[in-house]
Amino acid sequence: MRNIFVLGSTGSIGTQTLEAAEQVGCGIEAIAAEGSDIELMERQIRKHKPKAAIVIRPERAERLRQAVADTATEVLSGAENLYESIKQSTCDTVVNGISGMAGTLPSIYAVSSGKDLITANKEAIVTCGQIIKKLAAEHGAEIIPADSEHSAIFQCIDGKTPRKRIKRLILTASGGPFYGMSAEELRGVSKNDALRHPNWKMGKKITVDCATMMNKGLEIIEACMLFDVPAEKIDVLIHRQSIIHSMAEFCDNTVIAQLASPDMRLPLQYALTYPDRLPSRAEELDFDKLMTLTFARPDIETFKSLRLAREALKEGGTAPTILNAANEIAVRKFLRDEICFADIADFTERELEATPIIHNPSIEQILQTDADIRRKYDVK
Ligand code: MN3
């Protein structure tokens, strides 16, 4: 059984990873979190007894240090100590549940020190996917996707079929809370409307990304990077029920789909037990009451994030980094009521057009590009 280092342990992915790990009996080597919920970190330490706990915001660390002084867990703080802990850790697997670009360096340190990477963090793969894959190959680390769609594809194409026999990967999308609305109607939606996802319970940033469909745009880029499939072979299909988590179509026109109830603990657990499977706490599918599965084409005129993501992917280099940073800033502005919902994609499009693209960038250039855009808007 894997011995894991959980990054972003107090977030939605982190807490569900710990549940899945407990379910299958994985060891918890270390946990790391930003530090916004010290009480939860304390409970996690008492329950899972990790060797180390890292609080990324140093000013939040002292409270945790005092709270768990009676335990054997060492409390460290700051990003540098996090990177060092990942490198030095005796874990075999890093689970990256950090939200946003802050997850990038941890993923890079994980694979460069030979740890398998279970990644729910999209940004690292979207911006540095090729570099991370190369480092993983060099250091014998495996990358196991935990995003539900990519886990589904990973399961559908697993086996001995050569990659060149894949005709298409079909990412399913719930369509979010605003499916079917016109551009005009989108002008009137509120923050609370955007934060109400029909099927999945997630953090705020990704919930807004689902509403704009930028989440699916980032997932197209992520799928290209993870599975070495060109952009034109990746399709998006609206599937409101979120039962089929994605599909792979092969050259003989067979389509293999992965179905399960929408419960993030399941792809996280599969990543932990892969290639084995163990009983999970996810609800079983009830074919008696379910089962109307519907499919529709996405409206890329209204939800233009999908088009923007494809453009960034085609452009390559730092274009996905620019797309991601601009979107992250726009979402933050939206959550602070500084811009309206429809402005999110416009903001991202303007930034993508205005920022020069570097081809074949280094990690430093990717991080610099990201930092420059954030500095411009004074957003860290
Ligand atoms: Mn997803």
pLDDT over threshold 80, residue 304: yes
* 209's tokens: 């990304």
pLDDT tens digit sequence for 217-257:
999 999 999 999 999 999 999 999 999 999 999 999 999 99
3 in Cβ contact with 26 (< 8 Å): yes
pLDDT tens digit sequence for 162-205:
989 999 999 999 999 999 999 999 988 999 999 987 777 778 88
Give the distance (Å) from ligand 1 centre to CA of residue 219.
7
Fold of 3-145: Rossmann fold (3.40.50)
**Ramachandran quadrant class, 97 (left: phi over 0; alpha: psi -120 to 50; beta: rest):** alpha
pLDDT over threshold 80, residue 84: yes
The residues spanned by each domain of the chain are 3-145, 150-262+283-376
Give the distance (Å) from ligand 1 centre to CA of residue 107.
18
Give the distance (Å) from ligand 1 centre to CA of residue 375.
28
Question: CA-to-CA distance for 239 and 129, rounded, in angstroms?
Answer: 27
Give the distance (Å) from ligand 1 centre to CA of residue 238.
13
Give the distance (Å) from ligand 1 centre to CA of residue 149.
5
Instruction: Look at residue 102 in the predicted model and tell me its pLDDT.
Output: 92
User: What are the helix (H) ranges across 74-213?
Assistant: 79-88, 104-112, 122-138, 148-156, 183-186, 191-194, 204-212
The whole-model pTM stands at 0.94
Give the distance (Å) from ligand 1 centre to CA of residue 249.
19
What radius of gyration, in Å, describes the C-alpha atoms of the chain? 20
DSSP conformation letters of 365-379: HHHHHHHHHHHHTT-
Instruction: Look at residue 380 in the predicted model and tell me its pLDDT.
Output: 67
pLDDT tens digit sequence for 264-292:
999 999 999 999 999 999 999 998 876 79
DSSP conformation letters of 250-278: ETTS-EEEEE--S-THHHHHHHHHTTS--
Long-range contacts of 198-203 (CB under 8 A, 24+ apart): 198/174, 198/240, 198/242, 199/174, 199/241, 199/242, 199/262, 200/174, 200/242, 200/262, 200/264, 201/12, 202/12, 202/264, 203/11, 203/12, 203/99
Give the distance (Å) from ligand 1 centre to CA of residue 72.
36
Give the distance (Å) from ligand 1 centre to CA of residue 147.
5
Computed over every residue of the chain, the mean pLDDT equals 95
**Other C-beta atoms lying within 10 Å of the C-beta of residue 47:** 11
Give the distance (Å) from ligand 1 centre to CA of residue 253.
25
Question: CA-to-CA distance for 22 and 62, rounded, in angstroms?
Answer: 28
CATH placement of domain 150-262+283-376: 1.10.1740.10
Instruction: Look at residue 203 in the predicted model and tell me its pLDDT.
Output: 80
